[in-house]
């Protein structure tokens, strides 16, 4: 079995041992990644630190040109990366799968390359000139999850590079191969040490992510993952007072108002909930529907869901693949088994072979039921009936999370009023999870802090220096 090499200082690196990466569609090992230890991490951080002075000294135009060149170079390998994502992550090539992920990765890379944070003049008068400069931080540590390995890698790496930082990325042990390949491709056009990748399997005593978050030469950690691990990152980073961006879990509510048209919104609701098999941070994870159209919405949603082909993501017709890993599968199975006893199964409800779980829709649930309160992160949607909007808002906001939300209505002005009262970082009207590179994205409450994307996201990779003259 091929042992893929990590990349440190522009060179391939293996470790003394390796761990297997499995295709979730069939359980077959598709490759191995290096199980790296403290010394490997130290080498990667040292390489990024050594590359920082020259990289950060580049002019804004030169950094921009380099980021454009990186984007173009990735574009040439987009199909290869999409196939690798499908192999290790399980998502289909088509639909909102790996080709879509690569389209997003390129859109974000290109947009970020085009951004700029010029010097801002705060004052220029007889009392003097006051300028606000944005300075890169140094080595940025990136820790990514397994749901969108390449797109989230791009979200972390590109703004860091664009603002003059260097990077060490640590992907999830479940999906390391596409990130290794991404960094390999980037290194074909970047100076050595500017972007490095290290891999480890989270088993045993040594935890690569924790060590990265604690390392004194890492000046910022950008972390996307679960709330529990986010807390650990924060603790590890405390000793060295690092900059942090924490993009954590979510339990997004969607509120369907009484004037919504069930037939028109069914498709948007379905993909808002089942995008990437529900394994998406900002997906609809609780659906609140007004009693006057509850049954019609359920019928339309189930009707639409029935037509979705589930299978091996490598087959062109597939639109939903397996759940990515056994732990996640067990969680979804537990939550669905519990919800079946409390509510009414409208679709699915029984695990299929291997890691396959059919799209599952369960009505008759309420806040307090585990499938409603917990982040299921899988293909199981609870539907909660409500009778007045105040109740729906109260239930939607009654959550420790605050990532995304949505309101569905034929009256956009009314929907905007409801949207403004939802406690979350992004709210969409008549769509969900429709993130875009020119709009900042981040969570509130337990979903973390800091934002990604747009100027606001780039600023998080800089320190402010004010020069008074
Ligand atoms: P996870 O927290 O289990 O793992 C995330 C990363 O942290 C992995 O690379 C893992 O190896 C690493 N890690 C493990 N222990 C660590 C430690 N002690 N210190 C530092 N790093 C450590 O998350 P996951 O299961 O890979 O991803 C799913 C979660 O990610 C869900 O909760 C989902 O909502 C969230 N997510 C959030 C966003 C967002 O933008 N807010 C996006 C995608 C996923």
Look at residue 164 and tell me if it is in a domain: yes
**What pLDDT score does 204 carry?**
85
Contacts 24+ apart (CB under 8 A), 71-79: 71/106, 71/109, 71/110, 71/113, 71/158, 73/185, 73/186, 73/188, 73/189, 74/105, 74/106, 74/109, 74/154, 74/182, 74/185, 74/186, 75/106, 77/181, 77/185, 78/102, 78/103, 78/105, 78/106
Helix or strand holding residue 205 (H, E): none
Separation between Cα atoms, residue 165 and residue 461, nearest integer Å: 8
Q: Is the dihedral of CA 132, 163, 453, 376 positive or negative?
A: negative
Q: Is the CB of 173 under 6 A from ligand 1?
A: yes
Q: Is the CB of 229 under 6 A from ligand 1?
A: yes
The stretches of 215-321 forming alpha helices (DSSP H) are: 227-238, 262-274, 294-306
Separation between Cα atoms, residue 70 and residue 225, nearest integer Å: 25
3-state secondary structure of 209: helix
The verdict on whether 247 is a catalytic residue reads yes
Look at residue 232 and tell me if it is in a domain: yes
3-state secondary structure of 406: strand
Q: Are residues 95 and 184 in the same domain?
A: yes
Say which CATH number the domain at 50 has: 3.40.605.10
Look at residue 434 and tell me if it is in a domain: no
> Cα(416) to centroid of ligand 1, in Å?
32
**Tokens coding 139:** 């080595």
Angle at 447 between CA 442 and CA 448, to 5 degrees: 65
Look at residue 375 and tell me if it is in a domain: yes
Q: Are residues 65 and 174 in the same domain?
A: yes
Q: Is the CB of 375 under 6 A from ligand 1?
A: yes
Question: Strands, E, within 79-217: which ranges?
Answer: 120-125, 128-136, 139-143, 166-170, 195-197
**Tokens coding 181:** 């390949």
Measured from the Cα of 202, ligand 1's closest atom is 11
Q: Is the CB of 374 under 6 A from ligand 1?
A: no
Q: Are residues 178 and 300 in the same domain?
A: no
Residues contacting residue 284 through CB under 8 Å, at least 6 positions apart: 252, 253, 254, 269, 272, 273, 381, 406, 432, 433
**C-alpha distance from residue 375 to each of 27, 279, 283, 286, 401 (Å):** 25, 10, 10, 9, 9
The closest alpha carbon to 286, from 321, 241, 245, 335, belongs to 335
Q: Is the CB of 360 under 6 A from ligand 1?
A: no
Pocket test for ligand 1, best of 176, 213, 225 (most atoms within 8 A of CB): 225
Q: Are residues 105 and 138 in the same domain?
A: yes
Q: Are residues 264 and 357 in the same domain?
A: yes
Site of tokens 């403004």: 420
> Cα(236) to centroid of ligand 1, in Å?
15
Angle at 11 between CA 6 and CA 17, to 5 degrees: 35
Q: Is the CB of 377 under 6 A from ligand 1?
A: yes
Measured from the Cα of 281, ligand 1's closest atom is 34
The torsion angles phi and psi of 156, rounded to 5 degrees, stand at: -80, -45
* Number of structural domains found in the chain: 2
Separation between Cα atoms, residue 77 and residue 82, nearest integer Å: 9
Q: Are residues 118 and 132 in the same domain?
A: yes
**What pLDDT score does 49 carry?**
99
Q: Is the CB of 274 under 6 A from ligand 1?
A: no
Please identify which of the residues 88, 101, 184, 247 carries the catalytic annotation.
247
Residues contacting residue 309 through CB under 8 Å, at least 6 positions apart: 317, 318, 319, 320
Say which CATH number the domain at 358 has: 3.40.309.10
Look at residue 435 and tell me if it is in a domain: no
Q: Are residues 236 and 380 in the same domain?
A: no
Residues contacting residue 5 through CB under 8 Å, at least 6 positions apart: 12, 13, 14, 34, 180
> Cα(256) to centroid of ligand 1, in Å?
30
Q: Are residues 347 and 462 in the same domain?
A: no
Length of the chain: 469
Look at residue 265 and tell me if it is in a domain: yes
Q: Are residues 74 and 190 in the same domain?
A: yes
**Tokens coding 220:** 């910022």
Pocket test for ligand 1, best of 171, 229, 329 (most atoms within 8 A of CB): 229
Pocket test for ligand 1, best of 35, 88, 143, 145 (most atoms within 8 A of CB): 145
| DSSP states along 340-394 | HHHSEEEE--S--STT----EEEES--TTSHHHHS---SSEEEEEEESSHHHHHH
Q: Are residues 355 and 230 in the same domain?
A: no
Residues contacting residue 225 through CB under 8 Å, at least 6 positions apart: 143, 144, 145, 172, 247, 248
Please identify which of the residues 67, 184, 227, 281 carries the catalytic annotation.
281
Cα 245 to the center of its chain, rounded Å: 12
**What pLDDT score does 1 carry?**
81
The domain of 329 spans: 252-429
Q: Are residues 336 and 206 in the same domain?
A: no
Residues contacting residue 186 through CB under 8 Å, at least 6 positions apart: 70, 73, 74, 157, 195
pLDDT tens for each residue of the chain, 469 residues long: 899 999 999 999 999 999 999 999 999 999 999 999 999 999 999 999 999 999 999 999 999 999 999 999 999 999 999 999 999 999 999 999 999 999 999 999 999 999 999 999 999 999 999 999 999 999 999 999 999 999 999 999 999 999 999 999 999 999 999 999 999 999 999 999 999 999 999 988 899 999 999 999 999 999 999 999 999 999 999 999 999 999 999 999 999 999 999 999 999 999 999 999 999 999 999 999 999 999 999 999 999 999 999 999 999 999 999 999 999 999 999 999 999 999 999 999 999 999 999 999 999 999 999 999 999 999 999 999 999 999 999 999 999 999 999 999 999 999 999 999 999 999 999 999 999 999 999 999 999 999 999 999 999 999 999 999 9
**Tokens coding 235:** 């603790």
**Tokens coding 346:** 């409208």
Look at residue 437 and tell me if it is in a domain: no
Q: Are residues 379 and 459 in the same domain?
A: no
Q: Which residue, by CA, sits nearest to atom 12 of ligand 1?
A: 209
Look at residue 258 and tell me if it is in a domain: yes
């Amino acid at each position: 079995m091929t042992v893929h090499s990590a990349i440190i200082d522009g060179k391939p690196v293996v470790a003394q041992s390796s761990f297997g990466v499995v295709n979730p569609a069939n359980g077959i090992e598709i490759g191995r990644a290096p199980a790296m230890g403290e010394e490997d991490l130290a080498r990667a951080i040292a390489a990024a630190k050594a590359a920082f002075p020259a990289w950060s000294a580049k002019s804004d135009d030169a950094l921009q040109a380099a980021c454009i060149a990186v984007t173009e170079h990735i574009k040439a390998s987009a199909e290869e990366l999409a196939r690798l994502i499908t192999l290790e992550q399980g998502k289909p090539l088509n639909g909102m799968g790996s080709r879509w992920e690569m389209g997003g990765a390129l859109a974000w890379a290109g947009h970020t390359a085009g951004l700029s944070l010029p010097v801002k003049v705060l004052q220029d008068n007889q009392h003097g000139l006051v300028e606000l400069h944005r300075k890169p931080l140094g080595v940025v540590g990136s820790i990514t999850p397994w749901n969108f390995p390449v797109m989230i890698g791009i979200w972390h790496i590109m703004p860091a590079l664009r603002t003059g930082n260097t990077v060490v990325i640590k992907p999830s042990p479940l999906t390391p191969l596409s990130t290794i390949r991404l960094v390999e491709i980037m290194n074909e056009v970047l100076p050595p040490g500017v972007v490095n990748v290290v891999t480890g399997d989270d088993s045993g005593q040594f935890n690569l992510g924790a060590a990265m978050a604690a390392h004194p030469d890492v000046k910022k950690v950008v972390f996307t993952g679960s709330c529990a691990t986010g807390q650990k990152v924060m603790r590890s980073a405390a000793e060295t007072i690092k900059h942090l961006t924490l993009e954590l879990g979510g339990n997004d509510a969607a509120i369907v108002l009484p004037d919504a048209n069930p037939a028109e919104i069914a498709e948007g609701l379905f993909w808002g909930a089942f995008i990437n098999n529900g394994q998406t941070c900002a997906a609809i994870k609780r659906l609140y529907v007004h009693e006057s159209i509850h049954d019609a919405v359920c019928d339309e949603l189930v009707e639409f869901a029935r037509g979705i082909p589930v299978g091996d993501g490598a087959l062109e017709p597939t639109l939903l693949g397996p759940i990515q890993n056994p732990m996640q599968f067990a969680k979804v199975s537990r939550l669905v088994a519990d919800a079946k006893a409390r509510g009414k199964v409208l679709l699915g409800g029984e695990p299929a072979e291997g890691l396959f779980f059919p799209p599952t829709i369960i009505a008759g649930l309420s806040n307090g039921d585990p499938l409603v309160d917990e982040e299921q992160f899988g293909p199981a949607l609870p539907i909660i009936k409500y009778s007045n909007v105040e109740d729906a808002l109260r239930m939607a906001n009654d959550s420790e999370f605050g990532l995304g939300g949505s309101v569905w209505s034929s009256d956009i002005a009314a929907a905007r009023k409801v949207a403004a009262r939802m406690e979350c970082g992004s709210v969409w009207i008549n769509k969900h999870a429709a993130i875009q590179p020119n709009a900042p994205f981040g969570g509130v409450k337990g979903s973390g802090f800091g934002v990604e994307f747009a100027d606001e996201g780039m600023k998080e990779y800089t320190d402010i220096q004010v020069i008074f003259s």
